[in-house]
């Protein structure tokens, strides 16, 4: 019996490469001199795609008439048009759960770095300036602060637990209230006005693009700290640069940016911004666990008929799969 054919449009984690090679007929498209010719020749064979960042839209999906599953490496899947996939009967999966703690740890680390100016203090030491003068006292402390979490999902709840351990009060805004002890605010501006740390943990995409804008930043206020470990598109970067320059907010810690890997030059110039190169889940154990979940989604689907972690746009498709 022939093995299902899986397309890998671009380079992937070694766990994905090894796992797909073991179970499937794999097309490593990025290694081809003529990817379009390969797709045209093998289009009828391709039953699944495993991707770590390739844009997959309706036009791409239409080139693969036998496609049944897109397995995405990562929690966020904003480069995949999951609704267009659902309309074509294609299930999309992601990798939730296995990276929650790693991203939550990064979020709290970034908050500490930002509030206490730890990167700036280290640069002060490395430049030899400590022998001449002590690093200035920082304006911010975490004591007595309230964190507003925009997006209280798995990662948001993991961040909330860590924040509580630091003595930080927690509030949140979601589209819908959850059965949790944290205070709920029905709108984002209301949340921003009530807190002095705004932690962003919502998915990217058109629905959330520039959700954090000049109005929200003004509501956060002059003592406010913005932390983003979600997607750069959620924040209006022009508005953020202006808010940081004018001290409308105190500081920002960012692990994600609108046009990665390019970073807004205004952010690079600011001393009240701490910037990381999208490393929230970037440890070998976590990335391997994410890769294994990609493989497990593929193998479970083709062995048992159902994926393990479908995204919400695929819910109806999964419910209607044969028992």
- Residue 323: is its pLDDT beyond 70? no
Residue whose token pair is 């919400």: 312
Query: Please, what are the domains in the chain?
Result: 5-97+285-319 (3.40.50.720), 100-275 (3.40.50.720)
Q: What is the pLDDT of residue 265?
A: 97
CA dihedral 12, 18, 24, 27 (to 10 degrees): 40
Report the candidate in 246, 241, 277 with the shortest Cα–Cα distance to residue 260.
Answer: 277
- Residue 1: is its pLDDT beyond 70? no
Q: How far apart are CA 261 and CA 111, in angstroms?
A: 21
Query: pLDDT tens digits for 180-239?
Result: 999 999 999 999 999 999 999 999 989 999 999 999 999 999 999 999 999 999 999 999
Strands of 154-297, DSSP E:
169-173, 183-184, 197-200, 225-228, 251-254, 273-275
Tokens of 180: 């949790």
Q: What is the pLDDT of residue 136?
A: 96
The model's pTM: 0.93
* DSSP designation for 202: -
**Dihedral over Cα of 37, 38, 39, 43: its sign:** positive
Query: pLDDT tens digits for 90-128?
Result: 999 999 999 999 999 999 999 999 999 999 999 999 999
pLDDT confidence tier of residue 14, bands split at 50, 70 and 90: very high
The percentage of the chain sitting over the pLDDT mark of 90, rounded to a whole number, equals: 96
Mean pLDDT taken over the chain: 96
Q: What is the pLDDT of residue 322?
A: 81
Q: What is the pLDDT of residue 159?
A: 98
Beta strand pairing call for 225-228 and 169-173 = unpaired
pLDDT confidence tier of residue 60, bands split at 50, 70 and 90: very high
Secondary structure class of 63 (helix, strand, coil): coil
Q: For 301-311, what is the mean pLDDT?
A: 97
pLDDT confidence tier of residue 2, bands split at 50, 70 and 90: confident
DSSP one-letter string for 116-181: TTHHHHHHHHHTTGGGTSPPPPPS--STT-EEEEE--SHHHHHHHHHHHHTT-EEEEE-SS--SSS
Active-site residue set: 231, 260, 278
Q: How far apart are CA 11 and CA 16, in angstroms?
A: 10
Q: What is the pLDDT of residue 179?
A: 96
């Amino acid at each position: 019996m022939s093995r299902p054919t899986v397309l890998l449009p671009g380079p992937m984690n070694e766990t994905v490469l090894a796992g797909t090679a073991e179970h499937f007929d794999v097309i490593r498209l990025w290694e081809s001199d003529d990817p379009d010719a390969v797709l045209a020749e093998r289009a009828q064979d391709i039953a699944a795609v495993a991707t770590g960042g390739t844009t997959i839209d309706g036009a791409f999906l239409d080139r693969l008439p036998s496609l049944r599953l897109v397995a995405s490496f990562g929690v966020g899947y904003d480069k995949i048009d999951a609704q267009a996939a659902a309309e074509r009967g294609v299930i999309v999966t992601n990798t939730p759960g296995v990276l929650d703690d790693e991203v939550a740890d990064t979020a709290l680390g970034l908050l500490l770095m930002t509030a206490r100016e730890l990167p700036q203090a280290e640069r002060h030491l490395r430049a030899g300036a400590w022998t001449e003068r002590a690093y200035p006292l920082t304006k911010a402390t975490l004591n007595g602060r309230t964190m507003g979490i925009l997006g209280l999902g798995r990662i948001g709840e993991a961040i909330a637990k860590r924040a509580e351990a630091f003595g930080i009060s927690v509030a949140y805004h979601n589209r819908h209230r959850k059965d949790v002890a944290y205070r709920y605010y029905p709108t984002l501006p209301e949340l921003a006005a009530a807190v002095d740390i705004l932690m962003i943990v919502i998915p990217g995409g058109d629905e959330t693009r520039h959700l954090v804008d000049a109005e929200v930043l003004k509501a956060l206020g002059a003592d406010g700290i913005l932390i983003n470990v979600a997607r750069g598109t959620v924040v209006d970067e022009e508005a953020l640069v202006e808010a940081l320059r004018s001290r409308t907010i105190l500081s920002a810690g960012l692990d994600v940016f609108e046009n990665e890997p390019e970073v807004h030059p205004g952010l690079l110039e600011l001393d009240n911004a701490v910037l990381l190169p999208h490393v929230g889940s970037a440890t070998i154990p976590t990335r391997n666990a994410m890769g294994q979940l990609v493989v497990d989604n593929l193998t479970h689907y083709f062995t048992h008929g159902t994926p393990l972690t479908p995204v919400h746009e695929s819910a109806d498709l999964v419910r209607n799969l044969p028992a």
